[in-house]
Amino acid sequence: MNKAELITAAADRADISRKDAEKVVNAALEIITEELVAGERVSLVGFGSFDVKTRGERVGRNPRTREEITIAATRVPQFKAGKALKDVVAK
């Protein structure tokens, strides 16, 4: 399912226009993104939580030359599924 299909499904399920559903989905994604950028955690009980993980600096290799390179530290988004979501998917 892509974003357009999600918007259509949300509009059908909530019995609202596709335009309104698009506004809601876009707003939710923007809010989650803004909170993660600010270093905050977003927790949706029963679904899961979004967090930012700091990946430390590490040594890697250039596959072409086999030369060692340093890969800089970075922040990456992380999603951890909640128990209720895990239980439903596992069935």
Please report, in tens digits, the pLDDT of each residue of the chain (91 residues total). 999 999 999 999 999 999 999 999 999 999 999 999 999 999 999 999 999 999 999 999 999 999 999 999 999 999 999 999 999 999 8
Give the distance, in angstroms, between the CA of residue 72 and the centroid of all CA atoms in the same chain: 22
**What CA–CA distances, in Å, run from 44 to 8, 23, 32?**
22, 19, 11
Tokens 């890697």 found at? 60
Degrees to nearest 5, angle at CA 19 with 16 and 82 = 70
Kindly report the CATH number assigned to the domain that includes residue 81.
4.10.520.10
Same structural domain, 68 and 34: no
Q: How many domains does the chain have?
A: 2
Give per-residue pLDDT as tens, 41-55: 999 999 999 999 999
- What is the span of the domain harbouring residue 12? 1-40
Tell me the pTM: 0.81
Q: Tell me: do 15 and 52 sit in the same domain.
A: no
